Every structure is written in C-alpha cells, then in structure tokens.
C-alpha cells in the first residue's frame, strides 16, 4: 500500500509541478517542444527545481556530524530535499528552471539506501506524459490559478485548470 500511494502522489506532483514550471517558463517550453530529445533532462530538472517530496526525516544510528554540527546517536534529523536541490554550492543559478542544465544531480528521489524504489517508473511516467502533451502540437494554457496542496512534506498542486490553445 505504501508503494502504491507514495508512487502515485509523487508522480502526480512531478507531472503537475513540471507543467506549471513549463507554463511559467515559455522559452523553456518552446525549446522542449522543438527538441523532444530534451525530455529526459527536463524531467530531471523538474525533479530538482520543484521536488515532489520536500523533506524527510532520518534517525542517526551513531554519532555523526553534518555541516560542522554534531548529531548524536538516536537524534532525529529533518532533511530538506527541496532546499538541497536549490543549493547554490551545487547548482549554478539554482532558482532558474533550465531544461539544458548540464548537472541535474538532485535529491528528489533520495540517495543511497534511501533511493526511491520506483524512480525508474516515475521517470518513465514523467517522460511519457510530457512526450504525449508536447506531441499534440498544441500549447497548454491555464484557465485558473494554481491551488497548492496544503502540506509540508509533499509539494504538488491540488488543482490547475488547463486547456489547449
């Protein structure tokens, strides 16, 4: 049940956040429409730019440190994935949405033993949806303002009404 819910919610948010990012960045949308071979990189940039999962928690198994701060064994930590994906030390101009970004390294799907089991499927679903939308030859336009889900952990749209232009 966890895999079903987690996979559905996060992939839905990947697609919604991506559509909104493309609507807000028409030059990027045009570039993607003109060259659909950029879709896999665009999906990675969407994951970096507006991560479906914004934070997670971890429990330290042993004494450790991060950023010069001591973390004692058993301590709970909050990992801000969305913030890490906008870190200027790892991403040049991190608040800019750029489907041609050379490094789309991100933490949106976790890392190490906490890497998302469904990552290949999420990427495939994202690529498939954007391929289908761009393949219509028609531009999407919003007919309402985005309404965000009121939650801290997940970032996604509750609604965004669209129509083909």
CA distance 72 to 52: 29
- The model's pTM: 0.93
Query: 3-class secondary structure for 18-44?
Result: HHHHHHHCHHHHHHHHHCHHHHHHHHH
Q: What is the mean pLDDT of the segment spanning 38-58? A: 96
Q: Is the pLDDT of residue 67 over 90?
A: no
- Containing 135, the helix (H) or strand (E) segment is helix 119-135
Alpha carbon separation from 107 to 16, 34, 96 (Å, rounded)? 19, 28, 17
DSSP line for 114-131: GS-TTHHHHHHHHHHHHH
**Is the Cβ–Cβ distance between 143 and 161 less than 8 Å?**
yes
Strand pairing report for 140-142 and 162-164: antiparallel
The residue among 52, 31, 54 whose CA lies nearest residue 42 is 31
Q: For residue range 82-127, what is the model confidence (pLDDT) as tens digits?
A: 999 999 999 999 999 999 999 888 999 999 998 998 999 999 999 9
Structure tokens at 71: 């973390």
Q: What's the pLDDT score for residue 68?
A: 93
How many residues comprise the chain? 165
Domain 2-53+82-164: assigned CATH number:
1.10.630.10
DSSP 157: E
Domain borders along the chain are 2-53+82-164
């Amino acid at each position: 049940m966890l895999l079903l819910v987690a996979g559905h919610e996060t992939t839905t948010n990947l697609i919604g956040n991506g559509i909104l990012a493309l609507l807000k960045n028409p030059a990027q949308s045009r570039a993607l429409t003109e060259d659909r071979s950029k879709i896999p990189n665009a999906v990675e940039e969407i994951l970096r730019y507006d991560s479906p999962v914004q934070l997670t928690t971890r429990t330290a198994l042993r004494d450790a440190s991060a950023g010069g701060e001591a973390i004692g064994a058993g301590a709970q930590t909050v990992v801000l994935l969305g913030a890490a994906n906008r870190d200027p030390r790892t991403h040049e101009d991190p608040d800019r949405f750029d489907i041609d970004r050379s490094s789309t390294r991100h933490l949106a799907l976790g890392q190490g033993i906490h890497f998302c089991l469904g990552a290949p499927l999420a990427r495939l679903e994202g690529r498939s949806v954007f391929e289908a939308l761009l393949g219509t030859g028609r531009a999407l336009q919003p007919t309402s303002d985005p309404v965000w889900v009121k939650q801290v952990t997940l970032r996604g749209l509750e609604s965004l009404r669209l129509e083909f232009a």
